[in-house]
């Protein structure tokens, strides 16, 4: 089961390895990640987003073509749009990207620094964290009948008391079912849990 404290600890460890920040895209499906986190300079993030660089980013293409890790300085990887040069102007001078998981649910993690290339041992440590984050956030294949029933009632607009009365349980029991559903779906709120359940085809 997903444990937020462990997850946050792994992200913190990744941050320690990446002085100029990191980008984590977990379980990319239909071009969108189920969860993403990044600590790059917001000016770079805004520039990247405004210019639609995700479609031109050589590391995005590399990450979908293979699994493993590579440095941004790998000369085999083409960069026709000069993304690496632009990133360097924002302090992301050296970096490495890690790709793991099946193509239908790929996780891509990048780490950056300004002072030097990442050592292989550092990249391998980041790769271990990426694999851990990927495994921890694997979407569930099913919800229990009680969990899906509780989520569906709330999704249909029932308030807690009315939803509990409809299925003949106490309000506290209903809340317990919603809590367990949120935990399984790695959601902070019931609304987020409902959306993820729909995205995963569980509702």
Q: What is the 3-state secondary structure (H, E, C) of 66-122?
A: CCEEEECCCCCCCCCCCHHHHHHCCCCCEEEEEEECCHHHEEEEEEEECCCCCCHHH
User: What is the model's pTM?
Assistant: 0.78
Write the CATH number for 109: 3.30.450.80
Q: Is the pLDDT of residue 1 over 50?
A: no
Q: Let me know whether 101 and 170 are in one domain.
A: no
Q: What is the pLDDT of residues 119-135, one digit of tens each?
A: 999 999 999 999 999 99
Is residue 103 domain-shared with residue 23, that is, in the same domain?
yes
> Is pLDDT above 90 for 29?
no
Q: How far apart are CA 139 and CA 15, in angstroms?
A: 24
CATH number at residue 194: 1.10.10.10
Which of 136, 162, 182 is the endpoint of a domain?
136
CB 53 within 8 A of CB 147: no
Confidence class for position 96, pLDDT limits 50, 70, 90? very high
């Amino acid at each position: 089961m997903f444990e937020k404290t462990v997850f946050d600890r792994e992200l913190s460890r990744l941050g320690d390895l990446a002085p100029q920040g990191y980008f984590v895209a977990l379980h990319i499906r239909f071009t969108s990640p189920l969860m993403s986190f990044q600590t790059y300079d917001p000016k770079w993030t805004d520039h990247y987003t405004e210019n639609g660089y995700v479609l031109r980013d050589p590391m995005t293409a590399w990450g979908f073509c293979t699994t493993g890790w590579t440095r941004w300085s790998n000369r085999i990887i083409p960069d026709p749009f000069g993304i690496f040069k632009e990133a360097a102007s924002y302090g992301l001078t050296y970096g490495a990207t890690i790709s793991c998981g099946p193509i239908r649910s790929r996780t891509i993690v990048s780490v950056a620094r300004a002072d030097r290339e990442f050592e292989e041992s550092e990249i391998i440590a980041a790769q271990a964290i990426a694999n851990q984050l990927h495994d921890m956030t694997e979407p569930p294949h099913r919800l229990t009948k009680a969990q899906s029933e509780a989520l569906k009632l709330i999704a249909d607009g029932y308030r807690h008391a009315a939803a509990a009365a409809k299925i003949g349980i106490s309000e506290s029991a209903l809340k317990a079912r919603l809590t367990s559903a949120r935990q399984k779906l790695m959601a902070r709120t019931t609304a987020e849990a409902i959306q993820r359940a729909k995205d995963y085809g569980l509702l």
